[in-house]
Amino acid sequence: EMKDLPTMTPKFLKIVDQVCEQCHKDFAPDEVEEQVREHILQDLETFIRRHIEGAHLKLFGSSKNGFGFKQSDLDICMVLEGQDTAMGLDCIGIILSLARALGKHSGLKNIIPIITAKVPIVKFCHVKTGLEGDISLYNRLGLHNTELLASYASIDPRVRQLCYTMKVFTKVCDIGDASRGSLSSYAYTLMVLFYLQQREPPVIPVLQEIYDGQTKPEVLVEGWNVYFFKDLKDLPRRWPSYGQNRESVGELWLGLLRFYTEQFDFKERVICVRQKDTLSPFQKQWTSKYITIEDPFDLHHNLGGGLSRRMINFIMKAFINGRRVFGTPAKAFPPEYPDKMEYF
Ligand code: ATP
Ligand code: MG
């Protein structure tokens, strides 16, 4: 039994606040790094258009969602002029010719087309910056969920601080590599957003549930409704809880660890950021899975669907350990505290 919260001292809480703030400050790219990404994108687009007519590139993922790391990969989506969807396109053929074209670019190395995955992509490495990237085709939902995440990030500074803390935490605990069977950064970000929506009073609203009139507007992309409230400067008027949560970022972080280790009932509930009402795995027919995370737009997609039992245990243990480490005031701190991330 962990009875650590009563012993939480204001002094220790301040340090947890500082650690969370520092995660954001230390790992967020600065403006120059953001320009470098745009520059690489421009250069690639110009180059590719010489080989594939009408090609357009767009950045998505953490280069655009407000939760990027200095060394985050470049997630790029390619579309063709005059072509709205991937329907009828020979995607594998295009990916292969894209890989062939990129092979002639002197600034790139390690170009690998991956055509066996659910979504075919070309991977590459940008030599000068060492940034890795991948290009997919017509990932239009990816562009919309990136914009949704960016909107949440801009509502309150604590959102970004917590999502960075979560990302650092998952990296340090080695539970954040989707390619090795863990959850993706995107999934962990959804976990943070869900928690902030459920907090009492909430820190962020459910943007997909704010609209004029009786029924939710329908904006269909690939068969899914991607509507969400975008007029954020009007949010104080449209959302009654605006500005009501005054907790510090450290309190929220400790609350998050507590939420996912003690309070949230994984068996009975889906992590779902598109509605305030509870959603059960039973309703989704996802009962064979312990961690269920619904994509905000592609409602058939459970981001926890690929987790093995072993991996789930590993993730849950990391959270329980995190709660112990963060929730227990240390008697003495190393002198350089909290400027380094060794504290995790
Ligand atoms: P990182 O900084 O770790 O790269 P990221 O937010 O870019 O973080 P990625 O895993 O690179 O996360 O994913 C990039 C984008 O791809 C996400 O923003 C999301 O739009 C989409 N995405 C990632 N994983 C999934 C998934 N399992 N299902 C659906 N879309 C996903
Ligand atoms: Mg990424």
Q: Is 62 in the pocket of ligand 1 (CB under 6 A)?
A: yes
- Predicted pLDDT of residue 325: 85
Q: Is 203 in the pocket of ligand 1 (CB under 6 A)?
A: no
CA-closest candidate to residue 101, choices 131, 78, 75: 78
Q: Is 75 in the pocket of ligand 1 (CB under 6 A)?
A: yes
- Predicted pLDDT of residue 233: 97
- Predicted pLDDT of residue 330: 62
- Predicted pLDDT of residue 335: 45
The set of residues, in sequence order, having a beta carbon less than 8 Å from that of 226 and lying 6+ positions away, is 141, 144, 219, 220, 297
Q: How far apart are CA 277 and CA 195, in angstroms?
A: 13
234 phi, psi to nearest 5 deg: -90, 0
Q: Is 208 in the pocket of ligand 1 (CB under 6 A)?
A: no
- Predicted pLDDT of residue 84: 87
Which ligand lies nearest the alpha carbon of 74?
2
Which ligand lies nearest the alpha carbon of 118?
1
Kindly give the residue spans of alpha helices, DSSP state H, lying in the chain: 10-27, 31-49, 91-102, 140-155, 157-172, 185-198, 235-238, 249-258, 281-284, 309-327
Ligand 2 center–CA 343 separation, angstroms: 25
Residues with CB under 5 A from ligand 2 (ion): 61-62, 73, 75
Q: Is 303 in the pocket of ligand 1 (CB under 6 A)?
A: yes
Q: Is 296 in the pocket of ligand 1 (CB under 6 A)?
A: no
Q: Is 261 in the pocket of ligand 1 (CB under 6 A)?
A: no
Is residue 154 within 8 Å of 148, Cβ to Cβ? Answer: no
Q: What is the pLDDT along the chain (344 residues), one digit of tens a residue?
A: 455 554 678 888 999 999 999 999 999 999 999 999 999 999 999 999 999 999 999 999 999 999 999 999 999 999 999 998 888 999 999 999 999 999 999 999 999 999 998 889 999 999 999 999 999 999 999 999 999 999 999 999 999 999 999 999 999 999 999 989 999 999 999 999 999 999 999 999 999 999 999 999 999 999 999 999 999 999 999 999 999 999 999 999 999 999 999 999 999 999 999 999 999 999 999 999 899 999 999 999 999 999 999 999 999 999 999 998 887 766 544 444 444 444 44
- Predicted pLDDT of residue 9: 86
Q: Which two tokens stand for residue 277?
A: 């009402």
- Predicted pLDDT of residue 340: 43
The set of residues, in sequence order, having a beta carbon less than 8 Å from that of 55 and lying 6+ positions away, is 45, 48, 49, 78, 79, 80, 81
SS3 200: coil
- Predicted pLDDT of residue 173: 95
Do you find a cis peptide bond into 338, omega within 30 degrees of 0? yes
> Which residue is closest in CA terms to ligand 1's atom 20?
142
Ligand 1 center–CA 189 separation, angstroms: 10
- Predicted pLDDT of residue 327: 79
ipTM of the complex: 0.94
Q: Is 145 in the pocket of ligand 1 (CB under 6 A)?
A: yes
Ligand 2 center–CA 271 separation, angstroms: 21
The set of residues, in sequence order, having a beta carbon less than 8 Å from that of 273 and lying 6+ positions away, is 190, 193, 194, 197, 206, 208, 294, 296
Q: Is 65 in the pocket of ligand 1 (CB under 6 A)?
A: yes
Q: What is the distance, to the nearest Å, from the Cα of residue 236 to the centroid of all Cα atoms in its chain?
A: 25
Residue 221 forms beta bridges with which residues?
A: 224
Residue 300: which H helix or E strand, with range? none
Ligand 1: atom nearest CA of 145 is 20
Ligand 2 center–CA 73 separation, angstroms: 5
Cα 87 to Cα 54, 138, 324, distances in angstroms: 17, 10, 50
Q: Is 61 in the pocket of ligand 1 (CB under 6 A)?
A: yes
